[in-house]
Amino acid sequence: MGSKLESTDAKNKLEDLSGIVYQPGENPYEALINACNGRPEEIQSLYSTHRTTRNAQQRSRFLSPDFQECIIDPFLLRLENRSIEPGFQDPRNCLVFWARPPEHVIQLAVHLQNLLKEAAPSLWLMPAHRMHMTTLEITHSRTPAEISGLVESMRPVARTVTDLTFTRRSRLVKPLLSYDLAAIALTFLPASGEAVVSRPIAAPPHTADGVGKDGVVAWDEYTYHHLRRGVFEMVKDTYEVQSRYVVPSAHITLGRYLCQDDHDTPQKREAWIDAIEGINKWLETQVWDAEGGGWIGEWIVGQERGLDFRCGALWYGGGRTVMLGEGF
């Protein structure tokens, strides 16, 4: 089907910069929770450390005198420019559970995309209706037949997983742009007692461990990392999870580079970094914890839709939904 293509993962390893060491065979999300003694403020701190350290690392790479080029995704390039390899189809099929952003988060993300497009006109943008955050990648780079078999084996547990966020609610706050040589994303931190700023919603049903007993902020004891750990536990006995990475990151991909035109001089790269840092400053001062403003940076996972059990060629928000959980 044409030349063998190399995924950007091979050139752009997403390493964990939080300092957590994972042990073979364990639930990988358990290690971070244990290291933080389950405390939301410590979990938030490690998520923050990961994204702050990574942004500093990538800033240095963009501005280095040794900079060579951005990493162009050859699969996406062929999907967007059909003249390169007519009839090309992405052969990498995946099986995942996604968290879908609510409308107010999508509106914020699209606004940021428009600002980024002004700074880098050639940037490929993730379509708004395809935006997602991967809660758990079960497997990837498989054939359609392999994925079809796995979907059937997962059906008995899938409904419990997709509906999990209806009763076990976790909040994400403090959105910030994170970037590397291949892409740019909107990242969030697990909440830790911040003021509630999104529209009022019904409280979740009472659960045995008391989550939700004191209102929305009480949910913060069950962080997004706890949610990821819980989904992994539900799935692991049905199938050995084969995620590409388990780093402490809660992100929505906003865009990818498809050419070098916007970053082919030191001046352009410096302007790109300045634009990102300017947007991040705006997010910190005008969106974080803002009450009654035009933008809401808080996301209670499960708002509007539960988790999305999805399969197929998913790399750029495609594929199909097998099962969608109940939202609130």
The CATH number of whichever domain residue 269 belongs to comes to: 3.90.1140.10
Residues 6+ apart with CB under 8 A from 8: 71, 72, 73, 182, 183
Q: How many domains does the chain have?
A: 1
Return the amino acid letter for 69: E
Domain extent at residue 107: 18-324
Q: What is the pLDDT of residue 18?
A: 62
Residue 148, domain member (yes or no):
yes
Q: What is the pLDDT of residue 210?
A: 37
Residue 48, domain member (yes or no):
yes
Residue 10, domain member (yes or no):
no
The DSSP element (H or E) to which 207 belongs, if any, is none
Residue 7, domain member (yes or no):
no
Where b means 16+ CB within 10 Å and e means fewer, 48-78 reads bebbeebbeebeeebeeeeeeebbbbbbbbb
Q: What is the pLDDT of residue 13?
A: 59
Residue 65, domain member (yes or no):
yes
Residue 135, domain member (yes or no):
yes
Residue 269, domain member (yes or no):
yes
Residue 2, domain member (yes or no):
no
Return the amino acid letter for 25: G
Strand residues in the chain grouped as ranges (E): 93-99, 124-125, 133-142, 171-179, 183-190, 250-256, 299-300, 308-312, 320-324
Has this prediction a pTM greater than 0.85? yes
Q: What is the pLDDT of residue 243?
A: 81
Q: Average pLDDT of each block of 10 consecutive residues along the chain (328 residues)?
A: 62 62 76 92 95 96 97 96 94 96 97 98 98 95 92 94 94 97 98 83 54 54 95 90 85 97 97 98 92 86 96 95 95
